[in-house]
Structure 1
Amino acid sequence: MKQLRWIEALRENQCHQLEKAGIVNKTKVVDHGKKIRKNWSQSWTVLHGGILTFHKDPKSAPAGNANKASQIVPEYTVDLRGGSVQWAAKDKSSKKFVLELKTRQGCEYLMQYDTESIISDWCKVIQDTIHHLTPHQPEPEHLSDEEDDTGSDREDRKRTSTRNTSAADSEQNRIRGKLKRFLQRRPTLQSVKEKGYIRDNVFGCHLDVLCHRENSTIPKFVEKCIRTVERRGLDVDGIYRVSGNLAVIQKLRHKADHEEHLDLEDGQWEEIHVITGALKFFFRELPEPLFPFSSFEKFIATIQLPDHSQRVSYMKDLVRSLPLPNYDTMKLLFKHLRRVIEHKESNRMSVQSVAIVFGPTLLRPQIESANMTVHMVFQSQIVELMLNKFKDIFSIEGAPPSPSRTF
């Protein structure tokens, strides 16, 4: 891995050079001897001067805190002196290629990456660093009775040990000071992305931001999933209703976030419920749903109109007023769901079944209220109406230009 240019300022001697930096998955499992619940997250990880630093995922920064969100913020700083690292046992995690890192302070971390060569390199570098930081202790010589310790000798050794401990603490404080100054000069998240070290995520990204980045009005991941399902999944029983393997879905999510050219025809994605599960997960992870928060109450009010033709007319107007990425993505998705329903004799997915699955996934209020149960009924009814009246609602005849549909 290429060393980052912005670290060269700290290259004063061999001990204080950057040994390694990169993205890994990590979780803390023991905190000063106390077991804690695993919480895997992605981390920009830096090994420097015997200190391993895990940085927070920028998505975890509080909303509205633009300054912090634009920086790579340290989450855990691990002193490797006196620590140990080894491949984790199978009972530690169901993931593959997992390292177990223990510190002398009684903390334990798990580190993982899907590519074996990358995580193996991390293991070797951490082991070498720990070995470099741990001085060799010679075996004590056997003393005869005449050469046995005196009280004065023991005092001398105690003072020497105290001086060595003080020197070690002083060196550790000096390294921490260097690391602190280095972190204060850390680059912005945007500059790291521009250099290609971090790629923007697909999951959890605002729809308009993702589409703008991909120079499209429909996310590429959505198009790939729909093409795959229509090619080999329309007749599968319970399509979109049956859940896929969550671990494999999470693996697919990770691939989509970190690999630009994702191949859904790869054998590891053979189970079609994994593809449909990932597609539903994509829409649930949108910070703002496909039906924008600002339109939620309008859609709820429209579905309650007593006149059916009026409901369809108002629904069409609301859909046409959506931003272009929302409109185009919605049109493609509902067109696809219509094809799923056309095969209901084999897949047992009726209009009502599809509406129940996608209602809460595609639209939700910005703030949950006591009316949540009532809203769930209306959410399904909205999706059901749009599926039944797809051609009327998405017809572009006579559609006036909408100022909100900009991209």
Structure 2
Amino acid sequence: MAFVVALFDYGEGAAFGTPFREGDVFRLIEKSNEEWWKVERKDKKIMYVPKKFVEVRDLSSLPGSPRDIRSRARDDSPSNKLMRTQTQLAMTASSGVRSKSAVRSDDSPSLPPRRFTVSHSDSPTKKSHSVTTDPCLTVDDSLDFLHKRAVDACSRNSLILAMPLHKKNVALPGGKKCSSRNWIQLYCVLVEGHLLFYKDRKVFEKSRTSGSMRKKATAEKDLPTSEFQLECSILQVIRDHKRKHVVELMNEKNGVVWCQLETQGQFDEFKKVILSHSGAKEVVDSSSNGHAPESVIADDDEDDDDKKIVKKKLLAFFSRRPPLESLQGLVKEQYFGVHLDRLCEREKCTVPTFVEEIISAIEQRGLETVGIYRLSGNASQVQKIRFMVDQEEEIDYTDALTWDDINVLTGALKLFLRELPEPLIPYPALDSFVNAVQMPREVDKRAAMHSLIEALPQNNFDTLKFILEHLMRVTALGDENKMQVQNIAIVFGPTMMRKEIESINLAMEMVFRTSIVDFMLRDFHSLFS
């Protein structure tokens, strides 16, 4: 097992690598090239050291103290003198201070190529940076990427633009949706084709001081929260977003981000500088749906100009949420939620076809089911019937495999009655029915109710009579299904009648509505004769 010993200090002013001190001992892993060796520190971290700064030693020949190493390193032999001279020239070149008589640029050590994939969070509360690097690099080296960008941002020659903005991550590389898509206020800096996002301006100004840039421990918390590479990027202006001055930036490496500027002047300056000082290209007339430009181009290929104009007008029309009445002739009219008169006029009948078919299927399935109309069916199955009826699909309500629960059918009938814009007992007639059912004498009550029922519109009268005849057959089997007249009245009272504007005393109103249905069922033959 071979070891290497540092002959000289490799300080913090060096351009590459990790600093170390004279006398430090490392385990030699690999002689990577003629100038850099791969070694392991005592804390098991892997790093690269310049060959000219270290010397290979065998484990048995290691001296007992750093003083012995320093005495050997300071030997006045010609070879060591030459080595020291070359080392000093290399460090002078790496620190950026050269003279005309200094060595050529290719004489300075060259670091093996690094592969960085930076993935940073924009959350200003996180102090650490998640950086994926070559596994042979140390933790300190993994921060060098953003550290170098931060140093460039502090240089007046490299700094191109700096301004506050709001940023939101829309999509990750590969099109995956971001887990957090909230807007974050950051301080943006443009330097050499990269956008750096700082927590705020104070952090950026603090990082510009030379001291914080030289100290790694301090520099880490002063680094940007994230960066965006503008080379091979696409810039789009989001014109129809609820926020103003929004720009979309997208590339394969960083995904999709949105930047929102405060004023029109900042917006124009940001866009102009990005396009003139980077490799970004602009795509015009983008929408706020966050789609890639390919989807916009695909739409252009598929639709001609006339279709796009019509589509744009329809989207603008429906975005205003127009009432159903204004959509006649534009959209297909539904079945549920349509006025009873309109349904009967469409089907040329006085009882809706759906009511006849669903009640016929319920009676074929059997009225002996315990709790019929009182128990609720599966809500998704009930909504499926509603959807199929609205789409005018053929439905076999007697199919026991599809509709295995009779309560689904009864639930669909109750839903239809509740969805009527005006109930079976019209709004103006409800108060008269309530007054009639409160009369003390049965004869007067029966006469008043009879006259009110006769005065109902023909469609309401026939539909109400058809449903009550069905409910009479249900209550006739009350011993089997446990649904007596009172139970049915409690279910259908609120379903058949309601006020256009409900009163505060709703409990008392429910009592009266239940009493009306109860009286109509008990005196059905005299009221509807």
TM-score (norm 1): 0.55
Which residue in 2 is equivalent to 1:376?
A: 510
Structure 1: which amino acid aligns with 2:283? A
**Within 5 A, what are the aligned runs for 1:263-302?**
263-266=396-399, 267-302=401-436
Which of 447, 462, 469 is equivalent to 1:313?
A: 447
Q: With CA pairs under 8 Å and 6+ residues apart, which has the higher RCO, 1 or 2? A: 1
**Within 5 A, what are the aligned runs for 1:7-406?**
106=181, 159-162=277-280, 164=281, 167-170=282-285, 182-184=311-313, 189-193=327-331, 198=332, 200-266=333-399, 267-395=401-529
* Aligned counterparts of 2:430 and 2:274: Cα–Cα separation in 1: 78
Cα deviations by residue, 1:198-244 (Å, 9 ceiling, x for unpaired): 3x211111111111111111111111111011111311111101111
* Aligned counterparts of 1:84 and 1:228: Cα–Cα separation in 2: 55
Greater helix content:
1
Cα 1:333–1:103 change in 2 (3 A) is farther
* Aligned counterparts of 1:246 and 1:102: Cα–Cα separation in 2: 32
* Aligned counterparts of 1:84 and 1:255: Cα–Cα separation in 2: 41
Cα deviations by residue, 1:130-154 (Å, 9 ceiling, x for unpaired): xxxxx9969xxxxxxxxxxxxxxxx
* Aligned counterparts of 1:279 and 1:390: Cα–Cα separation in 2: 21
Structure 2: which amino acid aligns with 1:344? G
* Aligned counterparts of 1:227 and 1:383: Cα–Cα separation in 2: 21
Root-mean-square deviation over aligned CA pairs: 3.6
Cα deviations by residue, 1:265-319 (Å, 9 ceiling, x for unpaired): 2322121000001111111111111100010100000001111111111111111
- Determine if contact 1:82/1:104 at 8 Å carries over to the other structure: no
- Determine if contact 1:203/1:285 at 8 Å carries over to the other structure: yes
- Partner of 1:274: helix, strand, or coil? helix
Cα 1:378–1:137 change in 2 (3 A) is closer
Give the Å deviation of 1:172. Answer: 5.2
- Determine if contact 2:365/2:398 at 8 Å carries over to the other structure: no
- Partner of 1:235: helix, strand, or coil? coil
Which residue in 2 is equivalent to 1:405?
A: none
State the structure with more CA Rg: 2
Structure 2: which amino acid aligns with 1:190? Q
Structure 2: which amino acid aligns with 1:302? A
- Determine if contact 1:83/1:104 at 8 Å carries over to the other structure: no
- Determine if contact 1:337/1:354 at 8 Å carries over to the other structure: yes
Structure 1: runs of 5 or more not aligned: 1-80, 87-100, 108-134, 139-154, 396-407
How many residues were matched structurally? 251
Structure 1: which amino acid aligns with 2:438? Q
TM-score (norm 2): 0.43
